[in-house]
């Protein structure tokens, strides 16, 4: 209805302009710039909702860029963090809670025999790269076009957004990710197209690859499942050519299931990195995997970090993992699936050509594609301008979903929230279909 499409964001705009006096660009991560009509300022969260500076109550499908798998305000997680905070903030020593945290992750994630905690996905990606180079004595890391493993110079290559894929699909031309990035820092990488086993096999056969690093389901661009046999084939090819396999489960971890994509698809890599949902938005990341590889950290491979295993974040991790029961996945997945199916049906009814694919707790909507995407080049063909108009139309109706088409679902997105969302999807679809 007209009324439902009327949310305004003037106070956010005013405060973003004010922020820019002290905060570069008004935001603290470049990835927060992408929204139409502009970045928002939030006062607080409440389950599936965010309340912004204009007083709008918005259903949130950003979910902390995938982190808040239990919603914005899970009471047991907040209380655990509060109790831990009262005991002290940072000890630069060990605490009983970090044993419990490590045990829970190692019991749940198939590849995790041992681990080290850090604070962000970007830094544990660096730790994994250092481990595989130490273990193999080789240098090259195979990275795939469109996959994202953090913002550091030695890995921010051929990574969307802003990537204009060039060169042949099975041997892309490496694309630098930022002004100011050291161009020589890409020398340790070899960029390939994902989901193409023949290209990977051919590259590995050169014998200089330390590891293959991938999102086991490609979720930074699209929500693309590996082709049948691809993960198994990649692991076997790594074995044949003396390379290790790293899964970046920063998005897929605790979202494609409690044991991540590796459990869902039944392929166990040598190393795994996790972050985001591991502690429902508290700053925890982990590099985990084979004990002999992790033990290199006690044998000359350096890994540091003042905030590693931060006590409040550890308490939040334990409380989060305690809430991530099989029933959580069953219930949330049913809601996520209903939402995904509902969006697909409504877009079809309103005459909008779209692909709606992915997993119940993380899926992707791409306008203008005739078939589901298999890799970055496919998903890059989607009509981003039309989708951006749709995302804006949704936001005006109180639903916030990523401009790049990703939807993250939490346990707070219950039947009533899904109903309201689908109503907004109907209105937004009608608005953009009429344009």
For the chain, counts of helices (H) and of strands (E): 14, 14
Kind and range of the H or E run holding 210: strand 209-214
Compute the least distance from the CB of residue 339 to ligand PMP, in Å: 21
Q: In the complex, which residues of this chain contact ligand PMP (CB under 6 A)?
A: 65, 120-122, 125, 148-150, 215, 220, 248, 250-251, 275
Tell me if residue 61 is catalytic: no
Tell me how many degrees the CA angle 229-232-233 measures, rounded to the nearest 5: 80
**Closest CB to ligand PMP among residues 149, 404:** 149
Q: How far is the CB of 347 from ligand PMP (least distance, A)?
A: 25
Per the residue annotation, which of 52, 60, 276, 376 is the catalytic one? 276
* Residue 340 · residue 356 · CB < 8 Å: yes
Nearer to ligand PMP, 81 or 124 (CB): 124
Q: Residue 51 forms beta bridges with which residues?
A: 44, 57
Closest contact distance (angstroms) between CB of 5 and ligand PMP is: 30
CA pair distance 38, 293, nearest whole angstrom = 44
Q: Residue length, the chain?
A: 435
Q: How far is the CB of 29 from ligand PMP (least distance, A)?
A: 8
Alpha-carbon distances, residue 157 vs 126, 164, 215, 273 (angstroms):
14, 11, 15, 18
* Residue number of the CB atom closest to ligand PMP: 121
- Tell me the CB-side half-sphere exposure of residue 286, using CA atoms within 13 A: 31
Q: Which of 49, 61, 62, 148 is catalytic?
A: 148
Range list of H helices, 95-175 = 96-108, 121-136
Q: Is 248 a catalytic residue?
A: yes
Shortest Cβ 6–ligand PMP spacing (Å)? 32
Distance between CA atoms of 393 and 63, rounded to whole angstroms? 19
Q: Strands, E, within 313-425: which ranges? A: 354-359, 362-367, 399-400, 406-408
Which is nearer to ligand PMP, 47 or 150 (by Cβ)? 150
Whether 62 is catalytic is no
d(CA 189, CA 148): 13
- Nearest Cα residue to 323 out of 129, 102, 68: 68
User: What is the smallest separation between the CB atom of 10 and ligand PMP, expressed in angstroms?
Assistant: 29
* Cβ–Cβ < 8 Å for 101, 308: no
CA 116/CA 110 separation, integer angstroms: 16
Instruction: Kindly provide the residue ranges of all beta strands, DSSP E only, lying in 252-394, ordered along the sequence.
Output: 271-274, 285-289, 354-359, 362-367
Q: Between 125 and 356, name the residue whose CB sits nearer to ligand PMP.
A: 125
Which CB, 121 or 358, lies closer to ligand PMP?
A: 121
Q: Which is nearer to ligand PMP, 9 or 282 (CB)?
A: 282
Choice among 52, 248, 270, 378 that is catalytic: 248
Query: Cβ 425 to ligand PMP, closest distance in Å?
Result: 25
Closer of 45 and 121 to ligand PMP (Cβ): 121
Give the active site residues.
148, 248, 276
């Amino acid at each position: 209805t007209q009324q439902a499409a009327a949310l305004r964001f003037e106070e956010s705009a005013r405060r973003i302009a004010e922020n820019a006096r002290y905060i570069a660009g008004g935001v603290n991560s470049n990835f927060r710039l992408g929204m139409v009509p502009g970045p928002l300022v939030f006062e607080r969260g409440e389950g599936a909702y965010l309340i912004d500076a204009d007083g709008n109550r918005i259903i949130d499908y950003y979910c902390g860029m995938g982190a808040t798998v239990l919603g914005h305000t899970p009471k047991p997680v907040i209380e655990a963090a509060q109790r831990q905070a009262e005991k002290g903030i940072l000890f630069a020593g060990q605490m009983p809670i970090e044993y419990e945290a490590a045990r829970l992750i190692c019991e749940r994630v198939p590849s995790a025999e041992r681990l080290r905690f850090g604070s962000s996905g970007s830094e544990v990606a660096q730790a994994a790269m250092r481990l595989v180079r130490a273990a193999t004595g080789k240098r090259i890391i195979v990275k795939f076009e469109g996959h994202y493993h953090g913002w550091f110079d030695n890995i921010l290559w051929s990574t969307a957004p802003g990537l204009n894929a060039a060169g042949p699909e099975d041997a892309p031309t490496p694309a630098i990710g930022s002004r100011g990035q050291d161009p020589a820092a890409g020398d340790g990488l070899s960029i390939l197209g994902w989901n193409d086993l023949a290209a990977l096999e051919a590259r590995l056969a050169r014998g200089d690859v330390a590891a293959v690093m991938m999102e086991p389901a490609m979720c930074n661009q699209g929500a693309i499942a590996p082709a049948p046999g691809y993960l198994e084939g990649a692991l076997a090819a790594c074995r044949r050519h003396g390379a290790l396999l790293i899964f970046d489960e920063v998005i897929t971890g605790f979202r494609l299931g409690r044991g991540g994509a590796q459990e869902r698809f039944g392929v166990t890599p040598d190393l795994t990195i996790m972050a985001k949902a591991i502690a429902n938005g508290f700053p925890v990341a982990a590099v985990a995997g084979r004990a002999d590889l992790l033990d290199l950290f006690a044998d000359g491979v350096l890994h540091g970090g003042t905030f590693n295993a931060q006590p409040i974040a550890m308490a939040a991790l334990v409380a989060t993992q305690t809430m991530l029961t099989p029933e959580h996945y069953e219930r949330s997945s049913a809601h996520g699936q209903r939402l995904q199916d509902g969006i697909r049906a409504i877009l079809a009814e309103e005459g909008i050509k779209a692909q709606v694919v992915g997993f119940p707790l993380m899926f992707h909507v791409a306008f203008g594609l005739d078939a589901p995407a298999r890799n970055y080049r496919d998903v890059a063909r989607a009509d981003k301008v039309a989708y951006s108009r749709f995302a804006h139309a949704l936001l005006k109706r109180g639903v916030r979903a990523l401009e790049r088409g990703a939807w993250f679902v939490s346990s707070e997105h219950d039947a009533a929230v899904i109903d309201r969302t689908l109503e907004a999807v109907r209105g937004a679809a009608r608005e953009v279909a009429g344009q």
